[in-house]
Structure 1
Amino acid sequence: MPPDPETARLPSFFLPHGAGPCFFMDWDPPEAWDRMAAYLKGLTATLPAPPKAIIAVSAHWIEPAFTVAAAARPELIFDYYGFPPHTYQLTYPAPGDPALAARVVELLQAAGLPAKEDPDRGFDHGVFIPLKLVFPEAEIPVVPLSLAAGLDPARHLAAGRALGPLREEGVLILGTGMSFHNMRGYGDPRYAAPSDAFDAWLAEAVADPAGRDARLAAWTEAPGGLQSHPRGQEEHLIPLMVAAGAGGPGRCDFTDRVLEVSLSAFRFD
């Protein structure tokens, strides 16, 4: 995909993907995910131009090295459990983009980051659930990118920097996860304060142009950091690093209290 001087540079995002298929089922309380769903549905109106393709970095795909899905017609991976039967009938027939997948591998390798292709990988729910709201027509090619084992923040920031030039070519880079992901904390009011503290710290860190990378790389030292993302659950934060590395000036783009905790989205222009 050669650079097009008339193509608008797209932002990168870290988006909350919700809890399983939460946007497509009844919930208690029923309005729990409504504001987040509305934010995701309104995202395209904030873009300077329609994307030509999407790179989606999901919390639900981890490989020993960065791995890029190169399937032309990706299938859905229903990697959630115990939800209503109709949520396993959801569809998202967006095409893949093998040429872009190869380009992603080249850019990562050129930055000294081991990377490879997976010819069969489909869309896990961290990809297709939010994209069903953001781009319901499922017409834009989507290329999933895995996290790298070890979940080193600096490594993922570097991956984002390597991919950042693609934004000039109309490629939208999305990290999807959750800004709070402590499975014991959802619905527990005792986690409200730690989640608020970490959410406020994230907002300050992403908006710090000089210190952003260093601050994000040291997220475990942040107020409420390890209470919001205990060891073993931090994979839901790491896609933020790729989005931050790829993007320019950052800011909190959305925040809400869901199930007693703060959950936010971040945009990098």
Structure 2
Amino acid sequence: MTTTVTAPAVSPAPAHPQRLPVYFISHGGGPWPWMPQMAPAYANLATSLADMPRQIGRTPKAVLMVSAHWEEPTFTVQATPQPGMIYDYGGFPPETYQIHYRSHGSPALAQRVAGLLAQAGIAVEADAERGYDHGMFSPMRAIYPEANVPVVQLSLRRGLDPAEHLALGRALAALRDEDVLIIASGLSYHNLRAFGPQAHAPAKAFDDWLADTMLQATPAERTQRLIDWEAAPAARLAHPREEHLLPLMVAVGAAEGDQAVRVYHEDAFMGGLAVSSYRLDA
């Protein structure tokens, strides 16, 4: 059930003296943290995700998660205090359809997010029934395995316009000063029909372009290159459909003037993929 949101009179939480970073992470496939047989393939990703609390240096008040696995006609924020689970994958062992990541939601954060978007002139709705999808619970199992940090999900908007999602991130930037960790969850390569060694060349071409864009370009150049991402080498081979790339636009919008650091990289993930994750901070 969704409801349209107008700008509420919501006061921001007291600011923390140090602004939090923003992350764009690769979330991996399906329920991988619950599958020991997948541990070797995911060892490097798991290590990078588990290191995020050390990098941050404190436990945030809450996490706002933008997952590639939730799209709506209007940006929609998850507003339930105790989200259920959405097993949005197929072909995995029966027990993986019984797993739970039992973090709490945060209606107060959902209201704050809705207020920020409405104040920025961005249409927003609230969903009081939406559960957690695996773009959230799989990486969060590695980041905060005890599920002791409230998590609110925010959808992408159908149409997947890069500029709209950069604007979304800009509207959310204030949360970084309110002890809310923004995590954009996708994959830097997502072509399910081209995995393995045959995908190495296009994956590397796109990953090299992405690294240059994130690490070498000026903030203004970075923003423009992401808007024009389809001009990148092997862009449509790496992302036949761009829902797993669009969370990056939100992350960059929320940290538009900040530097990026690559916090995870592999050249032969799942047999041949070049993949990367990034942190943005001052």
TM-score range, shorter chain: over 0.9
> Which residue of structure 2 aligns with residue 244 of structure 1?
252
Moved more, 78-87 or 202-211: 202-211
> Which residue of structure 1 aligns with residue 116 of structure 2?
107
Report the Cα distance in structure 1 between the residues aligned to 2:90 and 2:117, rounded to whole angstroms. Answer: 33
Report the Cα distance in structure 2 between the residues aligned to 1:206 and 1:17, rounded to whole angstroms. Answer: 19
Contact 2:16 2:178 in 1 (8 A): no
Moved more, 148-157 or 257-266: 257-266
How is 1:65-84 mapped onto 2 (pairs within 5 angstroms)? 65-84=74-93
Contact 1:59 1:239 in 2 (8 A): yes
Contact 1:7 1:170 in 2 (8 A): no
Q: Percent identity?
A: 47
Contact 2:48 2:263 in 1 (8 A): no
> Which residue of structure 2 aligns with residue 14 of structure 1?
24
3-state SS of paired residue (2:262): strand
Structure 1 segments, 4+ long, off by >6 Å, are: none
The TM-score normalised by the length of structure 1 is 0.94
Q: Deviations over 1:59-107 (max 9, x none)?
A: 0000001000000011111111110122122211111111110111111
Going from structure 1 to structure 2, the CA distance change for 1:5 and 1:103 (only over 3 Å counts) comes to closer
Contact 1:153 1:238 in 2 (8 A): yes
Moved more, 202-211 or 174-183: 202-211
Deviation at 1:219, TM superposition (A): 0.7
> Which residue of structure 2 aligns with residue 204 of structure 1?
212
Moved more, 123-132 or 87-96: 87-96
Contact 1:10 1:49 in 2 (8 A): no
> Which residue of structure 2 aligns with residue 214 of structure 1?
224
3-state SS of paired residue (1:59): strand
Partner amino acid for 1:66?
F
Partner amino acid for 1:225?
A
Partner amino acid for 1:111?
A
Partner amino acid for 1:79?
D
Deviation at 1:24, TM superposition (A): 2.2
Structure 1 runs not aligned, ≥5 long: none
RMSD of the alignment, in Å? 1.4
Contact 2:16 2:177 in 1 (8 A): no
The TM-score normalised by the length of structure 2 is 0.90
Partner amino acid for 1:200?
D
Number of corresponding residues: 265
